[in-house]
Amino acid sequence: MLMRKKPIGLFRRLAGFDAMTDVLGLLGLRSHLVGRTEFGRPWTMSIPSEEFAHFHIVERGVARCQLNGTPSPLLLSVGDLLLVTRRQAYSLCDPLPHRDPYVFQMPQVDPSGRCQFLRVGSRTPSTRLICGAFTFSHSEHPLLTMLPRFMCLHSGKHSREILTQSAVKSLIAEVTDMQLGSETVVSRLMDLLFIHALRTWLSQQPQRSSWIKALNDSRIGPTLARIHEQPERTWTVQQLATGVGLSRSRFSVLFRQLVGESPQSYLARARMQRASRLLQEQGHSLTDIALATGYESDSSFSKAFRRQYGTTPGQYRRNSIG
């Protein structure tokens, strides 16, 4: 008996291009696992102000965080994730007050990428933390400049954070076992932690930032997607305006209101950020990068790049590769 094949129905088409995905790529996110530390009472860990964004996960016990300029400390318990996004000094400590705690400074990032296992204070640990750091190639991007000083995601508090908690649990398990390939897995999980934390924050702050409003706007959002999808295209303001059914003048005013700069300026900056990312990768010639970012020649690309970053593309590549 022959079986008739059921016709395939299209229920929903996935989005063709997500501007936020490209923006996350342009940030140049790089994660570093600092270590897994056991603390015995009494203890205090100080974190100096530096270029890194830090994260801390409470694997066991509790910890109290005091950030400079905040009126009251944050209490962190098992499964909580703290992401400190801006250059600032702060401390994590035992929640119980002590006159003479053991003061420990968060260790520096190991250039080799190795995870450090440390024990601080008394022999009986009361708290265990997993700590790491993030760096960004483009710290001037509007998305980073608008982030809050810190993001604290408490375990099980919001349904939106289920994926974040899954990444937290996976990271704890991976750092505990440290099997073959763990360095790669840990790096990917840390990237997921940042993205999930960012998603959660964005979902809670849809109206506070003009740049986020731009992503959500029915006219400017698709425009940003077109720019990031095809930065090599010779876009004119009229073309972008026509694509969303607006006049050139109305489109320009709306774009500046939501994004904070003109369409031409945003396009130029998006192209340069794409170029800098390509320069950090292997196998792209200057001609390839120039064409991929909308420039007809190496010389015009080099002039624009030097104007943006104050150095030549070749020198930028050498500095990035080291």
DSSP assignment string, 153-215: E-TTS-GGGHHHHHHHHHHHHHHHH--TTHHHHHHHHHHHHHHHHHHHHHHH-TTT-HHHHHH
Tell me the mean pLDDT in the region 298-311: 90
Band of residue 303 on the pLDDT scale cut at 50, 70, 90: very high
Given this model, what pLDDT does residue 11 score?
44
CB-based contacts of 146, cutoff 8 Å, min separation 6: 209, 211, 212
Band of residue 62 on the pLDDT scale cut at 50, 70, 90: very high
Helices within 7-48 (DSSP H only): 19-26
Helix (H, G, I), strand (E, B) or coil at 279: helix
Portion of the chain with pLDDT greater than 70, in percent: 80
Distance CA 97, CA 90 (A): 17
Higher pLDDT, 241 or 3: 241
Q: Per-residue pLDDT tens for 170-183?
A: 888 888 777 777 77
The region of weakest confidence among 10-24, 139-153, 292-306 is: 10-24
A 10 A CB-CB count for 14 gives 5
Tell me the mean pLDDT in the region 53-60: 90
Given this model, what pLDDT does residue 196 score?
80
Question: What's phi and psi for 298, nearest 5 deg?
Answer: -60, -40
Distance CA 248, CA 236 (A): 10
Burial (CB count within 10 angstroms: exposed 0-12, middle 13-18, buried 19+), residue 125? middle
Higher pLDDT, 127 or 103: 127
Q: Which among 313, 322, 316, 262 is positioned nearest to 289, based on CA atoms? A: 313
Band of residue 241 on the pLDDT scale cut at 50, 70, 90: very high
Higher pLDDT, 320 or 316: 316
Q: Per-residue pLDDT tens for 122-157?
A: 778 889 999 988 888 766 666 676 677 888 888 765
> In the chain, what are the domains?
23-204 (2.60.120.10), 211-321 (1.10.10.60)
pLDDT surpasses 80 at 4: no
Could you tell me what percentage of the chain is helix, strand and coil, using 3-state DSSP and rounding each to the nearest 5?
Answer: 40, 20, 40
Distance CA 83, CA 153 (A): 8
Distance CA 230, CA 235 (A): 9
